[in-house]
């Protein structure tokens, strides 16, 4: 049996690493193919197209025993879904569950989610207990989705089981996500958890795919630092066996705490530039900063970065233009990356002044339609909700739903507001956050 290491190297903490793994291990099956519809917008007016008639996206999603959510079904889902609710109501957990379901053969994604929340590693004796409701490892997480015409999008069952001793093999230093030091020898890899996390995914045709992951430690990368000094590197992370699945669309998770790394943005910008999309990106950023005339990549020390021409004597790194510009650029690039898939945005309003939110929502709706991407975003902001309503109303587009999470009979439950419901509720000043 060949063991393919999924997540070795716990030092890589950014979301883009996991996204690259999703692209490498999965893209779209026939049930996730999406018709891309460029030119659906003329100015700010939407040529109304029933997205659920042309795009095979999620229309219903159910969660059992994940994080703080014991049993939740959220429906109907729209092309754009804004998730609201008080603190600790499971808004981020809902995004995380959707992301796990979109990568059903990637057992290391659970560890990535912990890192997005600021938890730097796993306790081998309690491997990924944080994923399970009430931290109970005896429960089974069940994530399932439906699409158009009640088409099953597949069910993912996540369990903790005793690790199969036969599944551990030696991993060489060259397998690590970063280049090994010169002169490194083969790493000595050992499992340090008796437990494995197991992902069982059943697709719409009833075919089952099983993937497993476990926690390992690598020692033995020794580097000579001087005449009398040597250092041996130790690394920990997820190793695993990933099921081979039909291709699926890329799906991007943009967390509230971390920015997309500059290397990943540069890679995505390069792909967009090759397809003639760079000018559209500059126009998108003008909604936040009207001085931006064009974007370009400059490979100057310390690393290649995206620069903006804002009318000064030289281009300026986009990172110097503030969080709002950087956030919107990462969002726009993510749409280009995840065409036909989904984007998960935690605290979508972060870094953006309230006065530009309506324009930003107009741009997100345009990008969603152009690239066939379904949006799931969270917010705490009343201005963000109201701006979304105004933006969609101005385009004659009603493919927006608000989902409010709250406690009902001691459990987290969802109340869904259609575009019409949202308009009525906001006009009468009812509290929805």
Residue-wise pLDDT tens digits, 210-234: 999 888 877 655 555 555 666 666 6
Distance of CA 285 to the CA centre of its chain: 22
pTM of the model: 0.80
* Residue segments in the chain with a per-residue pLDDT below the cut of 70: 1-56, 149-151, 166-191, 219-234, 424, 426-433
Here the tokens at position 169 are 């093999």
Report the pLDDT value the prediction gives residue 183, as an integer from 0 to 100: 39
Report the pLDDT value the prediction gives residue 38, as an integer from 0 to 100: 33
Q: How far apart are CA 249 and CA 203, in angstroms?
A: 15
In 3D space, the residue among 371, 419, 399, 400 whose CA is nearest the CA of residue 40 turns out to be 371
Crossing angle between the packed helical segments 382-394 and 419-427, to the nearest 10 degrees: 120
Report the pLDDT value the prediction gives residue 65, as an integer from 0 to 100: 98
In 107-262 the beta strands, taken as DSSP E runs, fall at 141-146, 152-162, 188-191, 195-202, 208-224, 230-241, 252-254
Report the pLDDT value the prediction gives residue 142, as an integer from 0 to 100: 98
Crossing angle between the packed helical segments 323-337 and 278-285, to the nearest 10 degrees: 140
Report the pLDDT value the prediction gives residue 306, as an integer from 0 to 100: 93
Helix, strand and coil in the chain, % to nearest 5: 30, 30, 40
Report the pLDDT value the prediction gives residue 98, as an integer from 0 to 100: 96
Q: How far apart are CA 386 and CA 360, in angstroms?
A: 12
């Amino acid at each position: 049996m060949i063991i393919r290491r999924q997540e070795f190297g716990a030092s890589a903490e950014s979301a883009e690493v996991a996204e690259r793994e999703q692209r490498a291990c999965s893209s779209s099956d026939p049930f996730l193919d999406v018709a891309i519809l460029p030119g659906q917008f003329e100015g700010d007016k939407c040529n109304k197209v029933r997205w659920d008639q042309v795009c095979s996206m999620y229309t219903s999603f159910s969660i059992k025993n994940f994080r703080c959510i014991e049993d939740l079904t959220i429906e109907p889902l729209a092309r754009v879904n804004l998730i609201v609710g008080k603190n600790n109501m499971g808004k981020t957990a809902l995004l995380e569950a959707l992301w796990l379901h979109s990568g059903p053969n990637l057992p290391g994604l659970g560890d990535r989610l912990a890192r997005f929340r600021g938890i730097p590693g796993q306790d081998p004796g309690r491997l990924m207990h944080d994923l399970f409701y009430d931290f109970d490892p005896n429960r089974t997480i069940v994530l399932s989705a439906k699409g158009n015409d009640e088409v099953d999008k597949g069910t993912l069952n996540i369990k903790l089981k005793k690790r199969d001793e036969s599944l551990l093999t030696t991993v060489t230093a060259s397998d690590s996500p970063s280049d090994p030091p010169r002169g490194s020898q083969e790493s000595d890899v050992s499992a340090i958890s008796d437990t494995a996390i197991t992902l069982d995914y059943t697709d719409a045709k009833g075919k089952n795919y099983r993937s497993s992951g476990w926690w390992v430690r690598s020692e033995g990368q020794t580097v000579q630092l001087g005449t009398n000094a040597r250092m041996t590197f130790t690394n920990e992370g997820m190793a695993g066996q990933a099921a081979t699945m039909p291709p699926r669309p890329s799906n991007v998770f943009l967390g509230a705490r971390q920015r997309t790394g500059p290397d990943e943005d540069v890679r995505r910008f390069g792909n967009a530039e090759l397809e003639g999309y760079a000018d559209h990106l500059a126009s998108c950023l003008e909604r936040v900063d009207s001085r931006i005339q064009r974007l370009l990549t400059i490979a100057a020390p310390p690393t290649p970065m995206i620069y903006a021409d804002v009318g000064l004597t030289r281009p300026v790194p986009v990172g110097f233009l503030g969080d709002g510009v950087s956030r919107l650029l990462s969002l726009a690039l993510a749409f280009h990356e995840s065409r036909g898939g989904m984007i998960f945005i935690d605290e979508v309003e972060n870094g953006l002044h309230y006065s530009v939110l309506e324009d930003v929502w107009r741009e997100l709706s345009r990008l969603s339609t152009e690239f066939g991407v379904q949006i799931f975003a969270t917010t705490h902001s009343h201005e963000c909700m109201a701006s979304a309503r105004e933006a969609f109303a101005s385009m004659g587009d009603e493919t927006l739903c608000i989902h409010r999470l709250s406690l009902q009979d001691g459990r987290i439950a969802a109340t869904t507001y259609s575009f019409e419901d949202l308009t009525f509720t906001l006009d009468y000043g009812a509290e929805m956050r």
